Structure 1
Amino acid sequence: MAAPELDELRLLRRARDRMDREFAHPLDVASLARTALMSPAHFSRRFREAYSETPYSYLMTRRIERAKALLRAGDLTVRDVCIAVGCTSLGSFTTKFTELVGESPAAYRARDHSDLLVVPSCRTMILTRPRKPARPAAPPAPVPAAAPARAAVHAATATRAVDAATHPRPRVLGPTVDDETRCVHYRGPLDVIAIRFACCGDYYPCHLCHEQTADHPPAVWPLADRVRRAVLCGVCGSELTIADYLATTGCPECAAPFNPGCSLHTHLYFEVEPATPELATP
């Protein structure tokens, strides 16, 4: 490995070590990129190449790892554990925990963990470390006996086809102007999201696109649906929950920044909590 690559790997390791130490702190891609002396986009890309996951994914894995230990102790509620490990959204924490562990935090807390009491702590860390479930491999497509040399080609084609069918990028309707969800109404460099409308379940770049092309009135997502994935990052194709989108300023997967001006239109897509009236002073 060349010297520049080793130097860059040391910088990435510095940012990763910071996540290991300060996972309970409010870290974001921008601050981690500064630790590695890189731009957010370059840092996110190089981190994924080096460690096979995004900085956000690595940070959440560390948080879930600590959360499992706190839940096994049974002294804290799920909400308290969520806050203790640095998560600000209980819905996002529950969703990520269930994805990595295979059960909800409440179910994991209620289980009997007495079998781990006799296991050394170093082994417990290894045994309970969260791991993403492996995607099942697609079966190879049947190949005619007359063409055995094409077996690898058929198998690879079948794998790509199944993967595309299982995880397709959602279609965005309306007058878009590029592949990153920009439209004729909003086409700035930060206009890279699309919203899934509650009324029809389809993605549109903005409320004006829906108004001009849909044949029905719009509807907003109720507060109870904040855990629904209804926001599409046009840069990487990731789908964010409503709660995650409202709590961030950019994509947690690819670090693409979002337009902060979109907050002015939140009420057009999502139900907002009513403001608490101030008590009048006598």
Structure 2
Amino acid sequence: MHTTTETLRPLLIDAGTSLEAKFEALHGAYAGETMFILGCGPSLAEYTADQLDQLLAGKLVVALKQALDYVPTQGDFLVLNSWNFRSYEFARARPVVIRESGRNDPPVFLDGDIALDIPRPSSRDDQLALSRKFDDYMFSKTLNRPWGPGVLYEIGFYLAEHMGVSKVVTLGWDVGVRNSPQMPHFYDTTSPEVVRFIRQSREIEDIGERNRFLHDRGVVYNRPRIIPEEVDDCASVSADWQQWLNGKGIDLRLVSHQSLAADTIPRTRIENEI
């Protein structure tokens, strides 16, 4: 955990602290630092968990969802929405949990230290990947989140801008696979026990009870339906995100041998960025 996070953490996880006060404390708090954002794409496994644990020790690390499972001791911030949800066991100091949710999202069972709203869009055209209205959703302007799709676009890059970092290095940001309804993840191997739990859950009619059953057993639930066109949208907008971040004084770099993100984003290795 970064030393700045250790200082800020008591304020950020205090349920009595207002949301506005939390974001005021985060504004510029990591000026000039490098933020490492870990996504759930297969490229996360290009490093072993032990390698990442050593390389990222003391660095500013934002883990998106299950990426925290891979390096549980190094997350400063854990970013979640209601989809592909699961329970988490926190090692050492609990990360600051940032969770966004929509009004009609299915139930989940972990509160966020920083809870954000994501209003449901009226149409696919409202996606940030298509509108590219990045400035409209800076945390200095609104705490409501857009429809990205995805927490990297809805929260991750905006945290970088708000915190004042000078560089973002992503690992596991593979975007997806074109022309496929499936989004591959580093954790996709399913054990026989998990398969058994999923089958048992199908007998539970109430969605809240079903989700609680899966949550208590550490199984991923609320798996979303993937719109194949969204992969192209998210890949295409990556160059615009790079340009926007560069305009805010933030260098964007990518660690992956298979990412669909724009070729203009420099490829690198984590050991070259520490």
Fold shared by both chains (TM-score > 0.5): no
Larger radius of gyration: 1
Q: Which has the higher contact order (CA 8 A, sep 6+)?
A: 2
Under a length normalisation based on structure 1, what TM-score does the superposition of the two structures give? 0.23
TM-score by length of 2: 0.23
Select the structure that is richer in strand. 2
More helix by share: 1
